[in-house]
Amino acid sequence: MDTIKIVQGDITQATVDAIVNAANSRMLGGGGVDGAIHRAAGPKLLAACEKVKTKNRVRCPVGEARLTEAGNLKAKYVIHAVGPRYGIDKNPENLLTSAYQNSLDLAVSHGCESIAFPAISCGVYGYPPQEAAKISVSVCKRPEYESLMKYFYLFSDEMTAIWMAKLEHP
């Protein structure tokens, strides 16, 4: 069975066990999909983020992920993943790969059956979408994540077409 699906739409409406947020290291909200997720989830999500352990104001280093409750979202969990800032962070491929991998590992270790991803780093962080699509699809295809249903939620026609093409012709 195909365990990767592409959806064009708003990730806050996803009915999955875990919604992945394209967060920043402080994990206290922001613009883009982060802002949309916090608005839809309400203040409980921010309160849950505030409880995450910090080191020098960093809750989640680049390339890592942290799991919290999901407030008013339909999901059980929000997984906050921090992707690289393209052109600023070194080894962006490795960091984007590990942001996806750490998110998937958290979902599996918390017993999730489904997970929804946005295009991490492809907004203000400037990652070229063709490259990001290739990385995200290849990590999601790994056999260790076979038991999870993986959804990519993409906003524009263009981004949706890029992910579709990578899924069909990797």
The residue within the footprint of ligand AR6, chosen from 104, 118, 137, 167 (CB under 6 A), is 118
Token reading at 106: 């958290």
**Rule CB under 6 A: is residue 107 a binding residue for ligand AR6?**
no
* E strand spans, the chain: 4-8, 18-22, 65-69, 77-81, 114-117, 149-154
Pattern 49-78, ligand AR6, x by CB under 6 A: ------------------------------
Annotation says 34 is catalytic:
yes
The residue within the footprint of ligand AR6, chosen from 49, 159, 162, 167 (CB under 6 A), is 159
Reference 22, options 135, 101, 124; nearest CA is 124
Query: Would you say 83 or 92 has its CB closer to ligand AR6?
Result: 83
- At 12, phi and psi to the nearest 5? -65, -15
The residue within the footprint of ligand AR6, chosen from 5, 110, 113, 124 (CB under 6 A), is 124
**Rule CB under 6 A: is residue 14 a binding residue for ligand AR6?**
no
* The one-letter amino acid at 109: S
Contact criterion met (CB below 8 Å) for 114 and 93: no
Residues sharing a CB contact under 8 Å with residue 162, sequence separation 6 or more, in sequence order: 129, 130, 133
The one catalytic residue in 34, 89, 105, 157 is 34
Pattern 80-99, ligand AR6, x by CB under 6 A: ---x----------------
Locus of tokens 């997970």 = 115
The contact set with ligand AR6 (CB under 6 A) reads 10-12, 22-24, 30-34, 36, 83, 118-125, 153, 155, 159
The catalytic residues are 34
